[in-house]
Amino acid sequence: MRKYIIAGNWKMNMTASETKKLTEELNSAKKCGQQTVIICPPFTSLATANDLLVGSAIRLGAQNCHFAPKGAFTGEISIPMLQECGCEYVIIGHSERRQFFGENNAFINQKLMALLEGGLSPILCIGETLDERQNGKTKAVLETQLAECLKDVTEAKSIIIAYEPVWAIGTGVSASTEQITETHYFIHSWLEKSFLNVAVPILYGGSVNDNNAGEILSIPHVDGALIGGASLVAEKFASIISTAEKLTDR
């Protein structure tokens, strides 16, 4: 039976008081059913969200981490800090971090290894830019990102991949069904070759909303969605969870 991972990436949105409101709305909006539902608020909202999620099926994730457990890294947040806030998942390698904060595959790999070591699930984002897609480099870019970010991984059990074409993030235009089908199949095949006995879930991200979620989640090898804008509105996020639930029930 198909079961989806529906993850909300709140990015730099929601103060702690706004988090309280949205988390309460989500708690009363929708039962998660069979699906794994994750919210990833900003660091300053994690403790608030964690308190409100006691007894809820909604899981908590963060949007970034440092690979060192502690030390002189001004402004950074460690994995033990996130664990104490109740986080089970951490988004790493998001294109906004690659683009605006200069993160590269080697650095992302260090975070991924530290997360596996610490027992948290990395949600590893990969994806090509528009220029790369238009120049026929999509598969080569994804292959490099996968190989370098997953370097030295022997046990892929808790890893989640999020395929997020950079040009589809926050634009209101998601990748087409054909593009998602082809790319997810490529990523799935690569992962299958590398981690023989482990099924690594692959989420799609990039302008997923309550209108297109049904079509996107129906595509083979789409195991869920990483959702930015639409995860900030309780009704929309709950509607996407309902859509996943309906597809699971079929």
Counts of helices then strands in the chain (DSSP H, E): 10, 8
Cα gap 151→113, rounded to integer Å: 9
Determine contact, residues 149/126, Cβ cutoff 8 Å: yes
Type and span of the H or E element at 109: helix 105-118
DSSP 210: T
**Short-list 94, 148, 152, CA closest to 122:** 94
- 77-106 binders of ligand PGA (CB under 6 A): none
Q: Any idea what the Cα angle at residue 205 is, between residues 201 and 211, rounded to 5°?
A: 110
Q: Which is nearer to ligand PGA, 120 or 169 (CB)?
A: 169
**Whole-number Cα distances in Å, 35 to 123, 147, 190, 225:** 16, 29, 25, 11
Q: Which is nearer to ligand PGA, 193 or 236 (CB)?
A: 236
- What's the half-sphere exposure (Cβ side, CA atoms, 13 Å) at 38? 27
Q: Which is nearer to ligand PGA, 75 or 172 (CB)?
A: 172
Which of these is catalytic: 103, 132, 164, 245?
164
For position 128 contacting ligand PGA by CB under 6 A, the verdict is no
For position 228 contacting ligand PGA by CB under 6 A, the verdict is yes
For position 156 contacting ligand PGA by CB under 6 A, the verdict is no
- Minimum distance between the CB of residue 127 and ligand PGA, rounded to whole angstroms? 9
Annotated active-site residue 94? The verdict is yes
For position 23 contacting ligand PGA by CB under 6 A, the verdict is no
For position 207 contacting ligand PGA by CB under 6 A, the verdict is yes
Annotated active-site residue 188? The verdict is no
For position 45 contacting ligand PGA by CB under 6 A, the verdict is no
For position 161 contacting ligand PGA by CB under 6 A, the verdict is no
For position 8 contacting ligand PGA by CB under 6 A, the verdict is no
Q: Which residues bind ligand PGA (CB under 6 A)?
A: 9, 164, 169-170, 205-208, 226-230
Residues recognised as catalytic? 94, 164
